[in-house]
Structure 1
């Protein structure tokens, strides 16, 4: 798909992915708008400034928890495509405050789709799902046995083991409030296509990294510890589950 002269609305434009997506789209000739909560200092977000986007994207103040402000943003931007990236995306935080995650990720996604339906417009909506939706993926009979002992039941019941490599048809077994919120958004996107004809595209990205990634995420945690080790400020590197398998993109 060509993006030249397309009107693009990005939710979560100030984030790691949103800001880089904006840079790519601007370079390809798109007219980019970003939905952003009002900042007290009135300045453009750091990620946008760092990528030279302070004056190249139009910021529209709004909040995904307010359907009226989303409607205003849609009217102002007249989008051909909406990239819905805004989310509470830190898995550990979702365990600390699951309600915050649900308000942002579930209610916000519902408001976006409902605003589109009420406005009677039909931009393509690209939803940023997550590999976390797959959750418990069974790689061996032994793992399945341990999971049954721990949880009592596994649903959906595996049709075959191992379930790797993961494909789009793998069962969804979300294991965190964040993952549940993304499954909700995934199915809601499908429902608004089936029920109302709103064109939606669902992605389930795995880990993505690069300069500017938040320092709470795994690669930043590891690299910062390596640097501290090199500088003599630490004598060990502490990492969580070293048996996890992930795809990575840059």
Structure 2
């Protein structure tokens, strides 16, 4: 069976934000696929972190430790990597932190994205580019049905607004410098991707439900949950990454103009659930009497109560679909963390690669693979 990711073998790939949660998993996967991976990122902002404990740096062909706002370093790194693919994940990714640092959130998420595109524009070489934004880029009106790629952009909090602004800025660059009807001339395909809430091993960020749970449970404490009734499109981190990889490979192979657009990658509707249900499943998987409790907060920053994604476009046009249901995603996540906290740190890279193997196996024999 031919893998839909065969184009990555011997390709040159830049991943910005490769020390982050999603970026480190993507770098592992690309390396496994036989790509030369070049990372560009700040140092990890938590200890521990997946980049370090999964020994991602050992698998890279090169990396640069620098800010996405450092244009000189970014241009040098991309020029030296000479990439066939660019996955831009470097960002300020936390809603609650954006209330504390709104200006730097906008700078990183908007200007940082434009720095990447301007560098690619000046390079004048064919490239497939996936710009990662967020499902929170949509103007959240509280609707109970999933947001589609054509729905209005917006944002209450600085993080969400910065991602909506990034989408508008990226679209401007795409139309101004990489027009879809001239792809055969300039050779640059640019798409934006909006994923749901991701879980998986190796995330220790502040104010995220699974990292908060892991920190508490690893110390034998109950998990304190701020918004147990909030509904989110939960998915394992490998789900959206498989979408990014599928999209970029298809762009490189076909250069279809319609691919250079916005894409949602989220779970099927029955895996969207409130935080309380996620915590029930996670505590059951963790075992050892794990439990959670509602932490009532007065004057807490605004967070949307409902957020769902419609993924029809990816299903019908990319033949992509989620592979792991919520129970499997939680089982894999809890298993990864338990391996870490049981002291088996030296083999965590193997645990991560085993998860990737299992996910690839779940894709085989489907329309995403050709005979």
User: Shared topology, TM-score over 0.5?
Assistant: yes
Return closer, same or farther for 1:221/1:61 CA change in 2, 3 Å cut-off: closer
Residue segments in structure 2 that go unaligned for 5+ positions in a row:
179-187, 237-371
Partner of 1:110: helix, strand, or coil? Answer: helix
Provide Cα deviations, 1:141-187, integer angstroms capped at 9, x if missing partner.
xxxxxxxxxxxxxxxxxxxxx5x122222322311111111112212
Mapped partners of 2:116, 2:137: distance in 1? 21
Q: Please name the residue that 1:51 is paired with.
A: 54
Shift of 1:113: 1.1
Mapped partners of 1:213, 1:185: distance in 2? 24
Q: CA RMSD in A?
A: 2.2
Normalised to the residue count of structure 2, the TM-score between the two structures is 0.54
Cα contact 1:135–1:173 (8 A) shared by 2: yes
Mapped partners of 1:207, 1:225: distance in 2? 20
Q: Please name the residue that 1:34 is paired with.
A: 39
Partner of 2:130: helix, strand, or coil? Answer: strand
Q: Please name the residue that 1:209 is paired with.
A: 199
Shift of 1:132: 1.0
Cα contact 2:138–2:152 (8 A) shared by 1: yes
Shift of 1:46: 5.3
Mapped partners of 1:226, 1:29: distance in 2? 37
Return closer, same or farther for 1:54/1:223 CA change in 2, 3 Å cut-off: closer
Provide Cα deviations, 1:96-132, integer angstroms capped at 9, x if missing partner.
1101111211121111111221222332211111111
Give 1:59-98 correspondences, 5 Å limit: 59-98=63-102
Partner of 2:56: helix, strand, or coil? Answer: coil
Mapped partners of 2:92, 2:218: distance in 1? 28
Is the helix fraction higher in 1 or 2?
2
Q: Please name the residue that 2:8 is paired with.
A: 3
Q: Please name the residue that 2:235 is paired with.
A: 249
Return closer, same or farther for 1:125/1:95 CA change in 2, 3 Å cut-off: same
Cα contact 2:41–2:90 (8 A) shared by 1: no
The answer to whether 1:123 aligns with 2:127 is: yes
Which has the higher mean CA deviation after the structures are superposed, 19-28 or 110-119?
Answer: 110-119
Shift of 1:247: 1.1
Mapped partners of 2:218, 2:166: distance in 1? 38
Return closer, same or farther for 1:222/1:46 CA change in 2, 3 Å cut-off: closer
Mapped partners of 1:108, 1:243: distance in 2? 34
The answer to whether 1:173 aligns with 2:175 is: no
Mapped partners of 1:37, 1:83: distance in 2? 16
Mapped partners of 2:154, 2:205: distance in 1? 27
